Structures are given as structure tokens and as C-alpha cells.
Structure 1
Amino acid sequence: MNSKLFCFISFILTGLAMSAQEKPNVLMIVFDDLNDFIGPLGGHPQAKTPHLNKLAHDSVIFANAHSNAPVCSPSRASFMRGIHPASSRNYGFKNSAQNPVLKNSKTLPQYFQENGYKTYLAGKIFHGKVKGVWDEVGVETDYGPLAYNGKKSTLHPSCPKEMSSFGALDATFARLSDVPSVAASADAPGYTGWMGGNWGQAIPFKYKSESDRDLLNDEKSVTWFKNKLGQMEKQKQREPFFMALGIIRPHTPLVVPDKYFDMFPLDSIQLSKRKENDLADTHYHQGSGKDSRGAQIYQALKANSEGSDEGLRRYTQAYLASVAFADEILGQALDALEKSAYKDNTIVVVFSDHGYQIGEKDHLWKYTLWEDSTRVPFIIKHPDYKHQAGKAVQQPISLIDVFPTLKDFCQLQGSTKLNDHGAELDGFSLKSFLDNPETEQWAGPNFAMTMTDSYRSKLPKDQHIAIRTKDFRYIHYQDGKEELYDHRRDSNEWTNLASNPEYAHIKKQLKSDMFESIKDKNTPLSTVSSKKKKIGGEQWKDTYFKKHPSADSNKDGELSWPEFNKHKKIRTTNE
């Protein structure tokens, strides 16, 4: 038999075997820090994302999708378990693996495994390692490359020294060909060359030329993905798979090959739309009494430019270049899937963990409650919904809807809790929007809710909270300050209408809806056991709490030191 004919017949037979699977495969691709700077969302006029453009053309895109916590760790902990921060009380930067609710709830890959799926990972999906939930991990997370001083990662010499206090990771934006040479200092011997960004390990990253260099983490991930698809085809794998591919860029450091920088000449860079003194009618800083990290980074970049926009142009160029690079990685993955035997039986879900501000509201980072920080790309390509290709959904949805949507599509069965200390899914399936992108018959809420940590209490009602409806964004800060934006007239969120009497009834309704949605999420966590080892005073305080639960004056399920001291003082006085 002709070898080409044999290969063709083999391919067809393999495809038929794959398509005979009862359940569909899932390819979940998660970008890191990708905002609306993509063609389908129109966030920046110079963005070059041909592969995302094509995917949106072939899929259903959710144009009003939002993160539930606009920073990596709590966002990923939330969508990978389908549990809102209001339920887990995991709002900020604490280790989610120690959270009593999250650690007792099943992750997406665990749940897929229990339903007969093979689970695979390459790149960053969780914020940190979660063991025992993947059948195979192809590529670990590495944020690099970074500059190195001989002892630890450090500021790249080409980056503004004013940004050094924010750490090498967030302060680095440079061409890959700009190999750093860090001079010796009193504290370190110096070093010439890039170093990997796998924390705790100093692994050199080789770069001699574009044709003679190590692969970036995203390049390694997509290479592994392509090889894995080929391997599964060759082995005629019959079990359905859940494969997660994490694309790190455009997360900092914004370091990618020159060809992506060359796509955006510096002298032609357009900056995001900004308004002078835009923070004047906002209240983000008032709770802490100091500028946020994003505002500080923006100010440091601006200080380096001595009043010009040079620094912001360079940063915007690096971000656009990183987005273009990430889009190319996506394109390679989708092309490999399209050429495989799995193309007609694989659901593709693509989204970002949260947005990112590139100068809007004088911020250069994330973790705020404004549109540019919460809004994310969100696209679903389902082989059964080709007739809906190119449609856009305007209903606000959020990342906690990922878990129940995949559960619905794949008909997964069983509880999503590991035990009674876990939580039920908070999100809702988006399947009805694929049936009809304009439907109003959705079981979910009419808004997406985002939270950031107030560090005042663990109660949901005491956090900084935002809700986004089709037309409005309402923000309620822990101290009671409010912001309200009318997106029908003010898509840039330049004018805070919270004190405008014409919008009083709207603000009242949004506030009511917000607090109504979290009133059932206030169950204290004091009854939930935690295996986290505590020593010294913390252990002693916990023992005191068990004997005197009334010491928890704000009833958030945790005994703070001020509460302990106050209660102990009262007891001593009474005795």
C-alpha cells in the first residue's frame, strides 16, 4: 500500500475512534494579566492579535467578562474551584492552599479525573503547585528571564532605577536581545546574562542570538502541548482529556523577542486614553491612607521620564509586544489542535485571570476595582455551536462561571466538595448563551462581582467590592465610600456619579443587589479545621479563641490580636 495512502487512512481511523468518545475533550487556555488589548475587544487600536481575532470569529465571545479577584493568586484559586472569594474569604495574597474552604473543595482537574478524564498541564494555571490533580505536568512555571546580580534577580540596567523598589519581576520590560550586564556591588559580585525566573533556583537563560537561545516558558509549553497531542494520537488514546495550557505573557517581566517589539515602533506608540487628575473623584487610596502599588509604579515610571510620556510609551510598547507574543503562542496551540484528530471533539475555552492597567487612572498594575483591572477576554469555541460563530454576549459574567460551564458541557457528575468543609459552586453554566447569545433566560445574576481585600476583617461585607452590570459599575469600599460609572456614556470611567442625585435610585438598587448577593456568605469559618501549623503566640491565641468564641467581636470567624487584647482586658477587669 502507498505510504501516503496508509497514513491518510490511519489518520481517518484514528479520528473516527476519537470522535466515538462519549464525552468531549477540553482545552483550557489561560493568559496571565491580559486585559482588553486584543482585536475583538478593541482596548488598544494598535494591538496585533490575529489568532485571537480568528478564534473570536469562530467562537462565541463574552464581551463583558470579569475576574472575581483582580490579581493572580485569589483569581486562579477562585476559578479553578468555582468558588467566589466571598465564599472562601480568600481575597488577596494569602496562600490559597491553606484556605479552609478552598482546600476542602475539588479543583477542576480533580473533578475531571473523577469523571474518567486524563488531565494534563503545561505552564501556569494555579498560582503555585497543586499536587495530585494532574496525570501529567509537562512544563513548570517560570516567569523569566530576569537580570541577575550574582546572588538574586535584580533590576534590569535598561529599566528605570526609580522602579527598583517594586522588585525585578514587576519592574522589568526589555527586548530579549537586551542581555543584562549587572555591575558588581558591595552586596553582590555582578553577572552578565539572563537568569530564569523559577523562584528559589538560579538557572541561566542562554541568549546569543534569536537563532541561538533558550526557549521562553510559553514556547516550551506550546512545544510540549504539540508533542503531547501527537503522542496521544499515536497511542490512540480513548479516554477524554482535560488539558490546561497557561500562557504567562503578558505578565511581567515584559521580555519577548525583538520581532514583537519591532511590530510597534516606539515613535508611533499610542497611549491609553487618560484624563488629567482622574483620581480626584475616586476613593481607592483612602482606606489605606497611601497610594496603591499600581499608582506607585506609575509615579515611579513617570518620575524617570521627567514629565514626558517616554517611560509610559516604552512600557506600552513592551506590553503590546508581549500580547503579540502570547497571541502567537495561542495560534500555535490552536493550529496544532486543528490539525489533530481531536479537532471535532474538543471544547476550547480561552480567558485571562484578570485585566491590567497601562496608565489608565494613573495606574500601572492590577488589583483595583476599575474596568481595566477586572475585565478579561473570555471565548468559548464548541464544536456543537458552529452556527453561533462570531456572536458576542453582552451579559456580564465572571470567571467563577468556568467550572459550572465545563461541568455542564461535559456532563460531569458528583459533588464538587471534598467534604462538608468545602463549598458548593458559586457560578452558573454559560451554556444557555451558546444556545442563544442574546438570551435573557440565564440563571445567573445580572452583574459580575469583584472583590479586593480590605485587611480590616474577613467578612465579605467588609471588603472592597465592585459589581458590573450591562450599563453600570458600582464600587463600595470598606469605609463606605462609593463610586458609580455609567458605561452608556462613560466607558473610560472618568466621572464618578455616586454623589449625583439623578443616579441616586440606581446607586441604591446596585448597592442593595450587591449586599443581597453576599448576605448568605457570612458563615464564620471558626468551625472549619485547618491543618496549617501555627507556632508561638498564634497557637496560643487559637487556644484562647476556642475557649472564648465571643472574643470574635466582628464575627468573621477569626480572632485578631486587637480582639484578643480587648477581650482579655475586659475579662481581667471583670475578674
Structure 2
Amino acid sequence: MKKICIIAILLGVAFHSASADKQNVMMIVLDDMNDWLGVMGGHPQAKTPNMDRLASEGVLFLNAHANVGVCSPSRASFMSGVHPLSSGCWGFNNPLQNEVLNDSKNLPELARENGFKAYQTGKVFHHVPQTAWTQKGIKKYHGPMAWDGQKVALHPSCPETMAELGALDSTYASLSDVPSVGGYTGWWDSNSRKPFRYVSEDDRDLMTDEQSVEWFRKKMVALERNKNAEPFMMAFGIMRPHTPLVVPQTFFDQFTLEDVQLPVMKKDDIDDLPWGEGSRGRQTIEALRAGADDPELEFKKYVQAYLASVAFADDIVGQTLAILDGSRFKENTVVVLFSDHGYNIGEKEYLWKYNLWEESTRVPLIIRDSRYAASAGKTVGHPVSLIDVFPTITDLCGITGETVKGSRGAPVDGHSLRPFLEHPQTTEWDGPDAALSVIASWKSQKPVDQHLSIRTKDWRYTRYEGGGEELYDHRNDPNEWNNLAHHPEYDAIKVKLAAQMNAMVPKTTPKANVPKQETAAKTADELWKDKYFGWHPDADTDNDGELSWEEYKTHKTALDAKKAGSN
């Protein structure tokens, strides 16, 4: 019996050692998180002790950028490693209908082929491929929201002038501010199609991110019990600080409204801009101010809500890391934290995302790997982008294999960031010296006809379809206040940056790279519908990532009726 026990113990040690030697990976994906982290200095009042601590334990990339500044195409890109300009997926179409992405392996799919178990909770993909995950946890849901008895509605504490933007993007209120609309009192959970119960801070339903923490806690217990478990890829998608900016009151209490500092903005900053007029971000800030008795105070309420949502997201990060670090997987799990894109909070007179300015392209990116403890707390200033996440994870975790699975697939565009973990100031990196971002021009399906921007170490150069340009010297103008594009003394640097951009942009998108529904030239009506979708994403009532004509007509009729009523 004694001999059997000894053998069992040795086998257990062997199983544990085998598991401990494998590199797991934990992706923490934030939503609409800009540079408002303490360690990034985006806002002096931002409270992010958990993300700041993670940065002190890993490497912080200070010049990391999204390749497209809106959720769905950004997530499709970093989960495939394929740049939006290589796939043709840079707007609001459903990535699951994109032929290039369908013929390219996504990250969890490749990991599973390498013997990993792939787990996801919250929002990671915007549209989830069926072949991606071993197991899915909590379904993504941005709410709770106000409810009028039939549909989600504008929260009564928010300006009525914001109603045309949809309840999702116009809601910013404490969870304790229980709404009462159209005879219905209470929050609503559209995901489960039932009321979201709120009695007090301590007696209420859990929000999506809080549910994900509990799911993750149970999953880690199960993984710890399995001493011979396969390596895992864990993707934890955090909903905040995406709108609605609704979080528990305790996070609002951290920021006294009267003391909230507004983002630093320059008067008449938009005078030298060739783009932005009529955009959704401009509509949002104008609507907020138009419906307020005190526009500055109302804007403070929005900033307070965003700060509170950032603090809430940071608390979720802290709880998640505490669970991981309290397990036996701490030392052999690579942690990669980043956001899908940034968010403008008033800068450039813009209150939204999907633009090519610094606040919306720049994202936090932190990588912690115990094998590179010597680099802990270091920062990297070299420009990188989110397409580098895929090859970095596969490199660090020993995930190999062909990523193209069909004739229309595209190879990975990104490059592993491992050299920066080894030597944060290295110049020995095989990736580009600029991060390339895109938003749709709605004019053409050619990559060169989109609105494009590159961010180098010192400069941002942006070229809009139609000829508009922006040029900013980040050494002297970190806020991008002074557009130098039309100053003759900067012609040489502009020509150099334009050539650098042109070398990175495919001249044409192969027909196979265009989603099936876009292979034919779009009519003017279809282009208008696409633009309308960009302004009113809530019009997509079935949340399939596309705006049908029926959805467009229904939303437009309701919007026109509301406008007529207000007049």
C-alpha cells in the first residue's frame, strides 16, 4: 500500500509539472477604453490601481493603436491577425460573412488545434464564429437599460435631445438612479428579456462583468482540480467602459461631480479639420449640450460616468487577476490586457469613437509574462497595433500551424511583440515603424479610397478620401491641436509619411476579400443606409451587425416622428 501511495504521489507531481510547464494565456479585453489609465496619464482623476499594478508587473506599450476604431471590425481583426485592409472588413458589416476571415483561422481555433482548451466570457468577438471556443461563459450584454414597457428607452436623467442617438449611446447614470419611463419603473435586461432587479447596492442582480467574474472563479476551480489539464486560452471580455455608462453608485462616489475635471480641449480646435462635420461623434456632443440647462455641468456628468465606468472595469480586472494569481497557474499564464479601441470624450468636439484621432485609435496594451520579469515595469514607445496581438500570443505560447484554411484566406499581418518583452527599447523588431488605422469612406471598396492614418513614434499623418489631410507632431503637440498638413515647411515630412502609408496599404482589395453582400457596386441608397447605420447602430434591432432595409425604415420612421413631436 505504501508503495502504491508513493507511485500515486509521484504521478501527481509529474502531472502537475507537465501542466505547470505549459504556457497558458489570459486575454483581458476592455471595451471602448481610451488612455484614461493612471499609468498612461489620459485623465488626472482616473482611478485604475489594478491595471496600473499589472503594468508594473509587465510591459506597457504606450504607443499601441487599434486598426479600426469600432468594435466589430477591430475584434475581427485582432482575433484573426488580419488587418482590416487585407480582409475588407473595416465597417459595420457582419465579419461572419467576410470570405477572407471565414477562410482564415481565428486565434482560439488555432489554439485548439494545438491542444489548448479555449474559454470565453463576456465580449471578445462581436460576432462569434461557431468554431472558436471550447466553452462560452456569460453572454455579452451592455445593459441594464431603461425600459418603457415595450422597448429600451432613454434614461430620464439624460437630455431628451440625445434620444435620436439611441438609448445605448445616450445613457449615463448610476445604477442607483432607477429609471421610470412610460409607466414602467426599473431597469431592464434585454439579454434575458426580464427586469434587472435593483433594491440596493447590496441587493440586486449582477451585471454582465460581475457575472463573468463568478463564472471565471468557478472555471478556475475546475481547472485546478484537473491536475493533467490541457493548457488553456482564457478570454475575458469586459463590457465597460462601453455605453451605457451605468455602474454601481460606489464607483460614481469616487468622483464628486463638482470636482470632476473636463478633458483638456482647445477652443476652435475643429477649424483646421477636413473631417468630422455631420459625424455621429459630433452629433452626440451637440445633442448633449443642446438638451442641458447647464451644458458644462451636463458634460461633467458624462465625464463622471465614464470615469466611474473605467473604475468599475478596473475593479473587474482586479478581481479577475486575484483569482488567476491565487491559483497554481500564475507563473505559467501569459496575461495580455488591451482594449478594442479608444474613445473621444469631447476632444475635437467629438463624443464617440470611429475616427482617426489619437484618443480613439490609441489603446492600453499590457503584457505580463513571468519569463520576462527583468522587464517588469518597463514601457515601450515604438508604435504597434492590435493585429500584433495574435502573433504575440502564438509565439509566447508555442502555438504553431498554418493560419490560412481556405483559398480566400489571408496570412497574419501582425508581428510578435516578444522582442519588446526581452528588451523594451530594442530596435531589433521585424514589424513596421508605424501603426495603420482605417475608417470607411463609404465611397468605394478599395483600401486606398478609405480614410487612413498612420502613427509613427513622433508623427500622425491622416489622409481622407477626397483629399483632406492632417499632420501632427507628437513631440510638440500630443493633443493634436495644430494641423500642420497645409504648412509648406512640413511638405517634406508629409511626403515621407505618405510614402510610408502607401507602402502599407494594399492598392486593391481582391474580389474574394469583400463580403458577399458587397461584391457589387453599391447604389447611392445603399451607401446612405450604411452611413445611417454608422450614426444609429441601435437601429440594428436583431444585433446581427447589419442594417436591413426594414430595420432602417422602422428606425427612420420612429426618429422622424420623434423629431416632429419635439417641434
TM-score by length of 1: 0.87
Q: Does 1:501 align with 2:488?
A: yes
Corresponding residue of 2:28: 29
What amino acid is the match of 1:85?
Answer: P
What amino acid is the match of 2:77?
Answer: S
Note the 1:310-349 alignment, pairs <5 A: 310-349=297-336
Residues 385-439 of structure 1: CA deviation (Å, up to 9, x unaligned): 1110000000000000000111111222211112121100000000010111001
Note the 1:435-474 alignment, pairs <5 A: 435-474=422-461
| Closer, same or farther: CA 153–20 of 1 in aligned 2, 3 Å | closer
Structure number with bigger Rg? 1
Note the 1:196-211 alignment, pairs <5 A: 196-198=189-191, 202-211=193-202
Corresponding residue of 2:369: 382
Q: Does 1:367 align with 2:332?
A: no
3-state SS in 2 of match to 1:254: coil
| Closer, same or farther: CA 237–325 of 1 in aligned 2, 3 Å | farther
Note the 1:8-407 alignment, pairs <5 A: 17=16, 20-183=19-182, 190-198=183-191, 202-285=193-276, 290-306=277-293, 308-407=295-394
Contact 1:18 1:238 in 2 (8 A): no
Residues 88-125 of structure 1: CA deviation (Å, up to 9, x unaligned): 11111111110111111111110100000000011000
Deviation at 1:528, TM superposition (A): 6.5
Residues 243-271 of structure 1: CA deviation (Å, up to 9, x unaligned): 00000000000000111000000000000
Contact 1:177 1:257 in 2 (8 A): yes
Match of 1:410 among 381, 390, 397: 397
Residues 59-98 of structure 1: CA deviation (Å, up to 9, x unaligned): 1000000000000011001000001011011111111110
Deviation at 1:18, TM superposition (A): 5.2
Contact 1:21 1:239 in 2 (8 A): no
What amino acid is the match of 2:16?
Answer: A
Structure 2 portions without partners, runs of 5+ = 1-7, 526-567
3-state SS in 1 of match to 2:89: coil
| Closer, same or farther: CA 266–451 of 1 in aligned 2, 3 Å | same
Distance 1:234 1:93 in 2: 42
Structure 1 portions without partners, runs of 5+ = 1-8, 184-189, 539-556, 564-575
Distance 1:559 1:499 in 2: 34
Deviation at 1:561, TM superposition (A): 4.2
Contact 2:64 2:386 in 1 (8 A): yes
Corresponding residue of 2:522: 560
Distance 2:252 2:193 in 1: 27
3-state SS in 2 of match to 1:318: helix
Deviation at 1:34, TM superposition (A): 0.4
What amino acid is the match of 1:330?
Answer: V
| Closer, same or farther: CA 528–125 of 1 in aligned 2, 3 Å | closer
Corresponding residue of 1:186: none
| Closer, same or farther: CA 197–472 of 1 in aligned 2, 3 Å | farther
What amino acid is the match of 1:157?
Answer: P
Deviation at 1:19, TM superposition (A): 5.8
3-state SS in 1 of match to 2:295: coil
4+ residue segments displaced more than 4 Å: 12-16, 18-22, 527-530
Distance 1:381 1:514 in 2: 31
Distance 1:351 1:490 in 2: 25
Deviation at 1:562, TM superposition (A): 7.3
Moved more, 290-299 or 394-403: 290-299
3-state SS in 1 of match to 2:372: helix
Distance 1:444 1:503 in 2: 26
Corresponding residue of 1:568: none
Contact 1:14 1:233 in 2 (8 A): no
Distance 1:250 1:96 in 2: 23
Corresponding residue of 1:522: 508
Deviation at 1:130, TM superposition (A): 2.3
Deviation at 1:233, TM superposition (A): 0.6
Distance 2:499 2:92 in 1: 28
| Closer, same or farther: CA 19–179 of 1 in aligned 2, 3 Å | farther
Contact 1:155 1:172 in 2 (8 A): yes
3-state SS in 2 of match to 1:313: helix
RMSD: 2.1
Distance 2:266 2:17 in 1: 54
Deviation at 1:202, TM superposition (A): 2.0
3-state SS in 2 of match to 1:232: helix
Distance 1:529 1:482 in 2: 27
What amino acid is the match of 1:514?
Answer: M
Moved more, 310-319 or 132-141: 132-141
Contact 1:64 1:375 in 2 (8 A): yes
Deviation at 1:518, TM superposition (A): 1.3
Distance 2:18 2:301 in 1: 48
Deviation at 1:203, TM superposition (A): 2.1
Identity of aligned residues (%): 52
Distance 1:138 1:318 in 2: 27
3-state SS in 2 of match to 1:256: coil
Contact 2:19 2:228 in 1 (8 A): no
3-state SS in 1 of match to 2:505: helix
What amino acid is the match of 1:236?
Answer: K
Deviation at 1:220, TM superposition (A): 0.4
| Closer, same or farther: CA 95–529 of 1 in aligned 2, 3 Å | closer
3-state SS in 2 of match to 1:505: helix
Distance 1:73 1:339 in 2: 33
What amino acid is the match of 1:191?
Answer: Y
3-state SS in 2 of match to 1:242: strand
Distance 1:528 1:74 in 2: 14
Distance 2:466 2:380 in 1: 34
| Closer, same or farther: CA 197–274 of 1 in aligned 2, 3 Å | farther
Contact 2:20 2:329 in 1 (8 A): no
3-state SS in 1 of match to 2:367: strand
Distance 1:66 1:151 in 2: 40
Corresponding residue of 1:570: none
Distance 1:58 1:15 in 2: 29
3-state SS in 1 of match to 2:162: helix
Residues 501-535 of structure 1: CA deviation (Å, up to 9, x unaligned): 1211110000011011113x62421x5797x6x7x
Contact 2:288 2:295 in 1 (8 A): no
Distance 1:100 1:202 in 2: 33
Distance 1:321 1:303 in 2: 24
Deviation at 1:323, TM superposition (A): 0.3
Distance 1:403 1:480 in 2: 33
Deviation at 1:15, TM superposition (A): 10
